[in-house]
Amino acid sequence: MKMDYKDNYFNFTFTADKSTGLYNNIVGDVYHSIYGALEEAEEKFIAPLDFINNYYCKPEIRVLDICYGIGYNTKAFLKKILQTNYKGNIKIDILEYDKNLVTISPFIKDNLFNTYPEVSYILSASLINEVYNNRDTIKSIMSDKYNYKFFEPFYRNLVKQFYYFGYNYKPQNKNNSFLHNIYYHCISQRIKKPPKAFKFNNFIIKPYFDDARATIQKLSNKYDIIFLDAFTPSKLPTLWTLEFFMQLYKLASEDSLLVSYTNSTAVRHAMTDAGFYVGKLFDCNKRHCGTIASPNNNLIKNKLDNYDIGLMHTKAGIYYRDKNLNSTAEEIIYLYNKEKAESKLQSSSQFIKKYKMENIYEPV
Ligand SMILES: C[S@@+](CC[C@H](N)C(=O)[O-])C[C@H]1O[C@@H](n2cnc3c(N)ncnc32)[C@H](O)[C@@H]1O
The verdict on the CB of residue 40 being under 6 Å from ligand 1 is: no
Task: Give residue 215's identity as a one-letter amino acid code.
Answer: T
Give the whole-angstrom CA distance, residue 75 versus residue 126: 13
Q: What is the pLDDT of residue 196?
A: 46
The predicted model scores a pTM of: 0.93
Give the whole-angstrom CA distance, residue 317 versus residue 94: 30
Take atom 19 of ligand 1 and give the residue whose Cα is closest: 211
pLDDT above 80: residue 198: no
Select from 2, 96, 234, 241 the residue to mutate for testing ligand 1; criterion: most ligand atoms less than 8 Å from CB.
Answer: 96
Give the whole-angstrom CA distance, residue 222 versus residue 256: 9
The answer to whether residue 318 is domain-embedded is: no
- Triad 225, 227, 233: Cα angle to 5°: 145
The answer to whether residue 251 is domain-embedded is: no
pLDDT above 70: residue 161: yes
Which H or E run includes 266?
helix 265-273
Ligand 1 atom with the shortest distance to the CA of 230: 10
The answer to whether residue 357 is domain-embedded is: no
The verdict on the CB of residue 240 being under 6 Å from ligand 1 is: no
pLDDT digits (tens, 9 = 90+) for 31-73: 998 989 999 999 999 999 999 999 999 999 999 999 999 999 9
- When divided into structural domains, the chain yields a total of 1
Q: CA dihedral defined by 139, 160, 194, 68, rounded to 10 degrees?
A: 0
The answer to whether residue 114 is domain-embedded is: yes
Take atom 1 of ligand 1 and give the residue whose Cα is closest: 31
C-alpha pair distances (Å), 43 with each of 30, 40, 48, 302: 17, 5, 8, 16
pLDDT digits (tens, 9 = 90+) for 306-357: 999 999 999 999 999 999 999 999 999 999 999 999 999 999 999 999 998 8
The answer to whether residue 354 is domain-embedded is: no
> What CATH number has the domain bearing residue 164?
3.40.50
The answer to whether residue 119 is domain-embedded is: yes
pLDDT digits (tens, 9 = 90+) for 117-142: 889 989 988 898 898 889 889 989 99
Ligand 1 atom with the shortest distance to the CA of 3: 25
The answer to whether residue 316 is domain-embedded is: no
Q: 168: domain range?
A: 5-229
The answer to whether residue 202 is domain-embedded is: yes
111 three-state secondary structure: coil
